[in-house]
Amino acid sequence: MSKIKGIRSERELFHKFWSNGWACLRTAGSGSTSFPAPDLIAGKGGRLLVIECKSGAGNYRYLDKKEVEELCFFADAFGAEAWIGARFDRVGWFFVPARELTQSGPNNFVVHLKHVSEKGKKFEDLTA
């Protein structure tokens, strides 16, 4: 996935939160600092979400183990929920709790379209 496509997807989700009554902050340069930083932080009515976003054309989204661990660390420090937002072209966004990801190797996790379409949450369910 290109960096530009990833940024576009993050911005899409950022605007979706704001359009649905949530405050949202996009962390520019997440992944380029030595400190944990999620892609998005969203909150409403005392509920706080930190989200790592992945998007692309195929049926799989891969995450490094370190990336997921840092997201969970950040969520714990903020008292927030850690989520992975996976956008699939022509299908849309699905969300899975970061702590419920499927490990695909010793140092990475995978989000599969078939799995998240059955067990993940759509945006409307996540924000309900």
Annotated catalytic sites, by residue?
30
How many helices (H) and strands (E) the chain has is answered by 4, 8
**Strands 102-105 and 108-112: what pairing?**
antiparallel
The two three-digit tokens of residue 55, written as one number: 């998007």
Are 41 and 49 in contact, with CB atoms under 8 Å apart?
yes
How would DSSP label each residue in 17-52?
Answer: HHHTT-EEEE-TTTTSSSS---SEEEEETTEEEEEE
